[in-house]
Amino acid sequence: MTKILIAEDNAVNRELLRELLEMRGYTVVEACEGEEALRKIEQTQPDLLLLDIGMPVLDGFGVMRKIRENPRFASLPVVAVTAYAMQGDQEKILNSGFNGYLSKPVNSRALAEELERLLGKRENRDSSSHPSHEGQVSGKTRAVGNGE
């Protein structure tokens, strides 16, 4: 089972991501701030990290730096999840070692595409046989705010 760590301080955004991932058959682990994220990487060995940029204790850039400094986790796929939609931020994020970028509110399809790109399409086989779920997910996505 593919395991994904969500590092996000906003409880509503965390819950949304968990629902989107569990609907697609992923195992989810959560962290509420940066230092906890680093501990959870050590403890749970996720296959991919969804990393919020604006977080207390240690922000997403700080977490990213620590991850890439550690040879054991240097190749962990990390996707930035951020409301920082200003021009230049995407470039800054990709220059900081992130493998991808999702802006909030997270779009279900964009999330699925990033996971497919970084983990491989086989992970989505189950959910693709239930296309009727897509509309519900999109509705929820639009209802969630930009809380950082």
In the complex with Mn ion, the residue whose CB is nearer, 54 or 105, is: 54
Residues 45-64 binding Mn ion (CB under 5 A) are: 52, 54
The count of chain residues that interact with Mn ion, using the rule CB under 5 A, is 4
27, 2 in Cβ contact below 8 A? yes
Binding mask 9-38 for Mn ion (x = CB under 5 A): x-----------------------------
In whole angstroms, the minimum distance from the beta carbon of 55 to Mn ion comes to 5
In whole angstroms, the minimum distance from the beta carbon of 38 to Mn ion comes to 16
In whole angstroms, the minimum distance from the beta carbon of 7 to Mn ion comes to 9
Q: Residue 88 to residues 73, 78, 93: CA-CA distances in angstroms?
A: 26, 19, 9
Q: Which stretch binds Mn ion (CB under 5 A): 1-9, 14-22, 70-78, 97-105?
A: 1-9
Residue showing the smallest CB distance to Mn ion in the complex: 54
In the complex with Mn ion, the residue whose CB is nearer, 61 or 134, is: 61
The residues binding Mn ion (CB under 5 A) are 9, 52, 54, 148
